[in-house]
């Protein structure tokens, strides 16, 4: 940072306007990518999934809560864990304020984890979150959408994740899956994204990308998000 070039305001404006053209081009590319995403084909959900939630037993269809679109955040929280994943907690801190706006655009958003409902509710209360969170402990939802892995996969050292084979140090992973329900009540899987595909929905990261130090020294850490703590665990 000490070697950053210092110039006049006039020079800065010219360079900034040149960079703005790149930003505009990126925005247009992103708009096209989003259109392409919406035009991807769908897969009918044939299997019935029943979840444990604050309203009791609910099917995937019921989780739409009368809307036609459902976003599921696959939150890493295994059945034998007492706390949710630190990184997923970082993402979940972005949910509360957004969901009311999503609801008014015909979108329901929830989190799903393998941990039991009482454990999820306790952690949710600790974190001060209000979003709906259901347990998939008694169904195959996490396995089918490639965010939970078997003991054999872990022992083998590889798993199918993010549409490819990767190393498997953990039995849980994070992601987002999107579903649509038509007027006949049929449910379709329309999209899933994993790993860095989730960057786009983390507003804190988007702000970090605006400042001189960016995301800090993530490349020097044991893994990129080693710095993240649960929001009640930072030492100020």
For residues 89-108, average pLDDT:
96
pTM, to two decimals: 0.93
pLDDT in tens, 170-203: 889 999 999 999 999 999 999 999 999 999 999 9
Domain boundaries, the chain: 43-199
For residues 4-15, average pLDDT:
96
Q: Would the pLDDT of 212 be above 70?
A: yes
Give me the CATH code for the 43-199 domain, please. Answer: 3.40.30.10
- Reported as a pLDDT band with limits 50, 70 and 90, residue 169 is low
What confidence score (pLDDT) does residue 83 get?
A: 96
Q: How far apart are the first and last CA of the chain?
A: 24
What confidence score (pLDDT) does residue 179 get?
A: 98
pLDDT in tens, 28-74: 999 999 999 999 999 999 999 999 999 999 999 999 999 999 999 99
pLDDT in tens, 104-128: 999 999 999 999 999 999 999 999 9
- Reported as a pLDDT band with limits 50, 70 and 90, residue 1 is low
């Amino acid at each position: 940072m000490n070697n950053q070039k210092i110039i006049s305001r006039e020079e800065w404006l010219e360079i900034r306007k040149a960079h703005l053209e790149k930003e505009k081009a990126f925005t247009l590319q992103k708009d096209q990518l989003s259109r392409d995403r919406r035009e991807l084909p769908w897969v009918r959900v044939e299997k019935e999934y029943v979840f444990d939630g604050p309203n009791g037993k609910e099917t995937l269809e019921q989780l739409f809560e009368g809307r036609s679109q459902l976003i599921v955040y696959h939150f890493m929280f295994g059945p034998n864990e007492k706390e949710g994943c630190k990184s997923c907690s970082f993402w979940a801190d972005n949910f509360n304020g957004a969901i009311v706006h999503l609801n008014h655009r015909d979108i329901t958003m929830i989190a799903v984890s393998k941990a039991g409902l009482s454990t999820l509710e306790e952690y949710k209360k600790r974190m001060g979150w209000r979003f709906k969170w259901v347990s998939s402990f008694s169904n195959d939802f996490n396995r089918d959408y490639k965010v939970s892995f078997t003991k054999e996969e872990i022992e083998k050292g590889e798993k199918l994740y993010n549409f490819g084979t990767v190393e498997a140090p953990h039995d849980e992973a994070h992601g987002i899956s999107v579903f649509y329900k038509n007027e006949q009540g049929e449910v379709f899987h329309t999209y899933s994204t994993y790993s860095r595909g989730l960057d786009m929905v983390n507003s804190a990261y988007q702000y970090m990308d605006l400042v001189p130090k960016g995301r800090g020294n993530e490349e020097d850490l044991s893994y990129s998000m080693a710095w993240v703590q649960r929001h009640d665990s930072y030492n100020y």
